[in-house]
Amino acid sequence: MDFINNLLYNSVYNAAPILLCVLGGIFAYKANVLNIALEGLMLAGAFVSMLVAYLTHNLFLGILSAIVVCLLLGLVFSVMSVTYKGNVIVVGLAINMLVPAVADFVLKLMKSSNINLTWANVNDFKINIPFIEDIPILGSILSGHPPITYIAFLMIIVMAVLMYRTKFGVYVRVVGENDDAARSLGLKSNQYKYIAILIGAFCCALAGINLSMERLAVFTNDMTAGRGFIAIAAIYCGRGAPGPSAVYAIAFGVASALATQLTVSAGSAAALLDVIPYVIMGVVLTVVSITKRRKVKVRGF
Amino acid sequence: MKQSSLSSKFSGVSIKVINSLLPVLLAFFIGGIIIAAIGENPLSAYGTMIGKQLFTAKGLGNTLHYASPLILTGLAIAITFKANIYNMGVEGQMLLGAFFSGIVGSSLSTGNAIVDKLMCFAVGAICGMLFALIPALLKAFFHVDEMVVTLTFNYAMAKVLEYLASGPFRDAGAGYVCTPAIANSATFSRLGKSRLTLFFFIALAIFLVMWFVMKRTKLGYQVTAIGKNAEFAEATGMRVRCKIIILMLISGALAGIAGSGYMMSEQFRYTLDFSGSPGLGWDGMLIALLGRHSPVGILVASLFYSVLKTGADTINTYTSVPKEIVAVIQSLMILFLAVQFLNERFGLIERFKKLRAEKKEA
């Protein structure tokens, strides 16, 4: 019973940052600018929030500056890839490399291998819902999580509404489907791409804050551990639709919860569970491509 | 008339050089600001970083040594990028090649120096090719986006190798996670005082072969043609599907050889930070971008990059600047390299003229 309760709790816990990255990334995906930089942006959120909170002893200031820095990085990404038409993947990878490099540099200057908020108590961040926390299985799913975890799950609905029920969502999708057509209708397509990327940056900032500040009050430089790429796998599996992408994100969260849970009993082989998201992505991409290409009848390549 | 022919000449080679140099200078400039901000003189810091690597015999040897795998990973990326196929999985292919050549070098050693090394290289190349074959087949037959698949599979491969190194193939005697060291007969011995080994000359030989392939053969021409317009290339009778698979296999083989060479000349066993941070495959991408996908450019870029990499340790010992500054400069370079500052087709002078004309009209 303990095993199941822990597993369920950890699944929700592990799914939250992936989910936030996915929900941030889908707009960029739909606008046809693949945001590879999710990983770097998330790390930036984690790093800046902890650094500022450590220096100023103010959690709120930390959160605020993390969001600002992530938006600035998102702006750099947009300027380089949308306005100056750089290779999106290369720009994204550059940001993915820049953030840990800067974090490493600052940590070296601080002569420390991590940032630790000794004065903050992580248990204070957890929201325990009365009554529900006592229900055996439901309690570990619904109660005892930090605020951003709840925000992450609420975001599924917000993003679905934003994408399918607002003008903005429609325009972003039009821009992604056919840039020239969107422009001929008078849409400022670059503007929509910028906003799509910045939404992603904001969500990644939240994911980063969730990872470092809310859960552990500790920052180490490898703490994002490829979650941004798992998120990209989830986005591709769900074809950028908020609902299905979120389902994949949660499924991958369960897989990584299982991986940590089973490490005790199965040893290092449990780490192989982390490979599952990528394999699933490969299969889904192939199946989608096959069904799409079936109608295309062109000779050769 | 005279002026335009002059400017078109100018726009050829030198615009390419400027496009590569400008990001480097910009990155160094921002790095200089950071160094100045922590109270050191940026010029003298850069001076010690670069001077020691180029103007001492030992430093130069080390530079050449660390450039050898980078030449190969740079070529591995360039040959696919040039055809507009994006093999971002060089890092994973390199690691897989290195891992299994390490296993073969330690457990299947025959004792003969040449046989062992050839065997390791072969295993490395085959592993790299096999791992590259998956995205290649998916791309060629099902049109699956190879960029995403290769990119994310790197992380899957890192996890798999982490499991293999800490589980089945772990060296039980070592206090940390690693595979057994390769046999003496499979290691390249150092030539002279520096770390330089025969591997550099092997890399150089492969470079010459690749230069010939890319510049002087039908395949090289087809790579350029496919890169410019894949549909047109198909229409003129090049079998694009087949070429994609061949290119990815070449790329994977180069990556695998880079990995096994690095294993035999530098690391001798697989550890979890085998290729360092940010990793030889990612370095290779920087080099391919810096060299603008041309073989000679890649050779120059990998030497330059190797100076930076070895210079990181010098800067750490001789100044108070942490060596992590080099990683910052490197990532800034990639960021700026993604954008073409000057248009290679229209040239600098035409651009200014156009701007002027537009201003006059307004």
Least Cα distance to A204 among A10, A52, A76, A40 occurs for A40
pLDDT at residue A91 is higher than 50: yes
Beta-carbon separation of B324 and A105 below 8 A: yes
Length of chain A as a residue count: 301
Q: A39-43, B134-138, B348-352: which has the minimum mean pLDDT?
A: B348-352
| A285 with B278: Cβ contact below 8 A | no
pLDDT at A48: 92
pLDDT of residue B2: 45
The pLDDT of residue B344 is above 60: no
pLDDT at B354: 66
Average pLDDT, chain A: 84
Chain B residue with minimal CA distance to A266? Answer: B167
Tell me what percent of the residues of chain A surpass a pLDDT of 70.
96
B23 neighbourhood in chain A, CB within 8 Å: none
For residue A242, give the amino acid letter: P
pLDDT (tens digit per residue) in B201-240? 999 999 999 999 888 888 888 888 888 888 888 888 888 8
Structural domain includes residue B1: no
Nearest CA in chain A to B340: A86
Structure tokens at A213: 């500040």
How high is the pLDDT of residue B318? 79
pLDDT for B355 equals: 66
Residue B312 lies in a domain: no
DSSP state of A115: E
Beta bridge partners of B344: none
Domain that holds residue B177: 72-303
Q: What is the pLDDT of residue A275?
A: 84
Does the CB of A94 have a partner CB in chain B at under 8 Å?
yes
Lowest mean pLDDT among B12-16, B231-235, B329-333: B12-16
Residue-level pLDDT at B189: 80
Q: Does some domain include residue B119?
A: yes
Q: Do B325 and A104 touch (CB under 8 A)?
A: no
B1 pLDDT band, cuts 50/70/90, is very low
What's the confidence (pLDDT) of residue A65? Answer: 92
Residue B362 pLDDT? 54
**pLDDT of B164 strictly over 70:** yes
pLDDT at position B343 is 58
- Residues B157-165 have a mean pLDDT of 88
Report the pLDDT value the prediction gives residue B11, as an integer from 0 to 100: 54
CB A10 within 8 A of CB A270: no
Question: Which tens digits make up the pLDDT trace of A112-126?
Answer: 888 887 777 777 777
Q: Residue B250 pLDDT more than 80?
A: yes
The conformation of residue A218, written as its DSSP 8-state character, comes to E
User: Where in chain A are the domains?
Assistant: 17-222
B interface test, pick of A97, A107, A294 with most B CB neighbours within 10 Å: A97
Task: Let me know if residue B238 belongs to a domain.
Answer: yes
Q: How many CB pairs under 8 A join A and B?
A: 135
Question: Given an 8 Å threshold on Cβ–Cβ distance, is A300 in contact with B156?
Answer: no
Q: Is the pLDDT of residue B257 over 90?
A: yes
What is the percent of chain B where pLDDT is above 70? 91
Instruction: Report whether pLDDT(A298) > 70.
Output: no
What's the mean per-residue pLDDT of chain B?
84
Say if B232 is an interface residue toward chain A (CB within 8 Å). Answer: no
If one counts the domains in chain B, the total is 1
Q: Is B178 on the interface with A (CB under 8 A)?
A: no
Of A94, A102, A104, Cβ closest to residue B338: A94
Give yes or no for a contact between B299 and B71, defined as CB atoms under 8 angstroms apart.
yes
Residue A240, pLDDT > 50, answer yes
Separation of alpha carbons A299 and B150, rounded Å? 27
Which of B324, B325, B336 should one mutate to test binding to chain A, selecting the residue with the greatest count of A CBs within 10 A? B324
pLDDT of res. A114: 82
Mean pLDDT for the stretch of residues B260-266: 90
Confidence of residue B92 (pLDDT cuts 50, 70, 90): very high
- In terms of CA atoms, which chain B residue is nearest residue A98? B331
Q: Give the model's confidence band at B252: pLDDT under 50 very low, under 70 low, under 90 confident, else very high.
A: very high
Q: Which helix (H) or strand (E) segment is A116 a member of? A: strand A115-116
Residue window 270-289, chain A: list those with CB within 8 Å of chain B.
Answer: 271-272, 274-275, 278-279, 281-282, 285-286, 289
pLDDT of residue B58: 82
Task: Flag whether B333 is in a domain.
Answer: no
B259 in any annotated domain:
yes
- Cis geometry, peptide bond prior to residue B278 (ω within 30 degrees of 0): yes
**A36 pLDDT higher than 70:** yes
pTM for this structure? 0.86
Q: Do the domain assignments include residue B62?
A: no
Q: Is residue A297 scored above 70 in pLDDT?
A: no
The per-residue pLDDT for range B116-145, each reduced to its tens digit, is 889 999 999 999 999 999 999 998 888 888
Cross-chain residue pair B138–A282, CB shorter than 8 Å: yes
pLDDT at residue A273 greater than cutoff 60: yes
Q: Determine contact: B230 vs chain A, CB below 8 A.
A: yes
Whether residue A29 lies within 8 A of chain B, CB to CB, comes out as: no
Residue B125: inside a domain:
yes
Residue B179: predicted pLDDT: 87
Query: End-to-end CA distance of chain B, in Å?
Result: 26
Task: Say whether residue B148 is in contact with chain A using an 8 A CB cutoff.
Answer: yes
CA distance B256 to B123: 8
